Structure 1
Amino acid sequence: MVNENNKIAIEKYLSEIGFYSILLEFDNVKEYAVFVVYVNEKYYGKIVLNEKEDIRIKKTPAIKLDGGENCIVIEKIYGYVNIECANLLKVDRPIDKSISFQLSNVNSSNECKELMGFFKKIKGKGILTGQHCNKSTAPDVEYVKRLTGKIPAIIGFDLLSYSLHVGTNDSTWECIDEIANNRGSIEGAIEWSRKGAIITFCWHWFSPMYGEDKSFYTSNTKFDLKEALIQDSKEYIEMIKDLDAIAKKLKVLRDNNIPVLWRPLHEADGNWFWWGAQGPESYIRLYRLMYDRYVNYHNLNNLIWIWNAPDRQYYPGDDVVDIASIDIYTPNGNDGPMSLDYQSVNEIPSKGKPIALAENGTVPNLDLIEQSKTNWLWFMTWNGFLADQKWNTKEKIIDAFNHPYAINLDNLLDIK
Structure 2
Amino acid sequence: MNLKYLLITLTGLFVNAATAQQRNLIDPLATKETKSLFKNLYKLSEKHTLFGHQHATEYGHGWSGEANRSDVKSVVGSHPAVIGIDLSEMSGQPQEQIEKTKEHLRKNVIDTYNRGGVTTVAWHFSNPVSPGGFYWVDSVSLPAVKYIIPGGKEHAKYVKILNDVADWAKSLKGADGKLVPVIFRPYHEFDGDWFWWGKSHCTVDEFKALWKFTVSYLRDTAGVHNFIYAFSPDNQFNSEQEYLARFPGNEWVDMLGMDNYGDMGRYGKYNLDAAINKLRIVSAYAQKNGKLAAFTETGLESLSNPNWWNDVLLKVMKSDKIRMSYVLVWRNDTKSATHFYAPYPGHPNIPDFQKFYDDPYTLFEKDLKAIYK
What residue is the counterpart of 2:366 in the other structure? 410
What residue is the counterpart of 1:160 in the other structure? 88
AA partner of residue 308 (structure 1): S
Give the conservation status (yes or no) of the 8 Å contact 2:146–2:202.
yes
Match of 2:70 among 133, 136, 142: 142
Question: Does 146-155 or 346-355 show the bigger shift?
Answer: 346-355
AA partner of residue 325 (structure 1): G
Q: Any idea what SS the aligned residue of 1:270 has?
A: coil
Q: Superposed, which structure 2 residues align to 1:3-402 within 5 Å?
A: 100-133=22-55, 137-139=58-60, 142-163=70-91, 165-166=92-93, 184-212=104-132, 215-219=133-137, 221-231=141-151, 233-253=152-172, 256-276=178-198, 277-309=201-233, 311-329=243-261, 330-331=264-265, 332=268, 336=272, 338-346=275-283, 351-362=289-300, 363=309, 365-366=313-314, 369-370=317-318, 372-384=320-332, 385-387=340-342, 393-402=349-358
AA partner of residue 253 (structure 1): L
Superposed displacement of residue 348, structure 1: 5.1
Query: Cα deviations across residues 24-45 of structure 1 (Å, max 9, x unaligned)?
Result: xxxxxxxxxxxxxxxxxxxxxx
Q: How many residues align?
A: 303
Give the conservation status (yes or no) of the 8 Å contact 1:262–1:306.
yes
Superposed displacement of residue 396, structure 1: 2.7
Q: Any idea what SS the aligned residue of 2:245 has?
A: helix
Distance, in Å, in 2 between the alignment partners of 1:104 and 1:200 is 17
Distance, in Å, in 1 between the alignment partners of 2:90 and 2:47 is 37
Give the conservation status (yes or no) of the 8 Å contact 2:182–2:226.
yes
Query: Cα deviations across residues 33-69 of structure 1 (Å, max 9, x unaligned)?
Result: xxxxxxxxxxxxxxxxxxxxxxxxxxxxxxxxxxxxx
Question: Does 262-271 or 215-224 show the bigger shift?
Answer: 215-224
Distance, in Å, in 2 between the alignment partners of 1:260 and 1:161 is 18
Percentage identity across paired residues of the two chains: 24
- Indicate how the Cα distance of structure 1 residues 298 and 324 shifts in structure 2: closer, same or farther if over 3 A, else same: same
Larger helix share, 1 or 2: 2
Q: Any idea what SS the aligned residue of 2:116 has?
A: coil
Give the conservation status (yes or no) of the 8 Å contact 2:90–2:101.
no
Distance, in Å, in 2 between the alignment partners of 1:136 and 1:149 is 13
Distance, in Å, in 2 between the alignment partners of 1:136 and 1:184 is 12
Query: Cα deviations across residues 114-158 of structure 1 (Å, max 9, x unaligned)?
Result: 11121232122111111111x862437611111122221111100
Query: Cα deviations across residues 286-306 of structure 1 (Å, max 9, x unaligned)?
Result: 000001100001110100111
Q: What residue ranges of structure 1 are gaps of 5+ in the alignment? A: 1-97, 168-175
Superposed displacement of residue 241, structure 1: 1.6
Superposed displacement of residue 347, structure 1: 5.2
- Indicate how the Cα distance of structure 1 residues 224 and 192 shifts in structure 2: closer, same or farther if over 3 A, else same: closer
Query: Cα deviations across residues 198-233 of structure 1 (Å, max 9, x unaligned)?
Result: 111111111112213xx11121522532233252x4
Superposed displacement of residue 336, structure 1: 4.6
Give the conservation status (yes or no) of the 8 Å contact 1:305–1:321.
yes
Superposed displacement of residue 358, structure 1: 0.5
Distance, in Å, in 2 between the alignment partners of 1:354 and 1:225 is 27
Q: Any idea what SS the aligned residue of 1:306 has?
A: strand
Distance, in Å, in 1 between the alignment partners of 2:159 and 2:314 is 42
AA partner of residue 302 (structure 1): N
- Indicate how the Cα distance of structure 1 residues 396 and 280 shifts in structure 2: closer, same or farther if over 3 A, else same: farther
Superposed displacement of residue 373, structure 1: 4.3
Give the conservation status (yes or no) of the 8 Å contact 1:160–1:204.
yes
- Indicate how the Cα distance of structure 1 residues 401 and 238 shifts in structure 2: closer, same or farther if over 3 A, else same: same
Distance, in Å, in 1 between the alignment partners of 2:128 and 2:120 is 23
Distance, in Å, in 2 between the alignment partners of 1:312 and 1:365 is 24
Distance, in Å, in 2 between the alignment partners of 1:130 and 1:157 is 11
AA partner of residue 23 (structure 2): F
Q: Any idea what SS the aligned residue of 2:170 has?
A: helix
- Indicate how the Cα distance of structure 1 residues 368 and 348 shifts in structure 2: closer, same or farther if over 3 A, else same: closer
Query: Cα deviations across residues 225-245 of structure 1 (Å, max 9, x unaligned)?
Result: 2233252x4311212221222
Give the conservation status (yes or no) of the 8 Å contact 1:230–1:236.
yes
Superposed displacement of residue 183, structure 1: 7.5
Q: Any idea what SS the aligned residue of 2:23 has?
A: coil
Larger strand share, 1 or 2: 1
Give the conservation status (yes or no) of the 8 Å contact 2:57–2:70.
no
Superposition CA RMSD, Å: 3.1
Give the conservation status (yes or no) of the 8 Å contact 2:50–2:82.
yes
Q: Any idea what SS the aligned residue of 1:365 has?
A: helix
AA partner of residue 134 (structure 2): F
Distance, in Å, in 1 between the alignment partners of 2:255 and 2:106 is 22
What residue is the counterpart of 1:54 in the other structure? none
Superposed displacement of residue 267, structure 1: 1.0
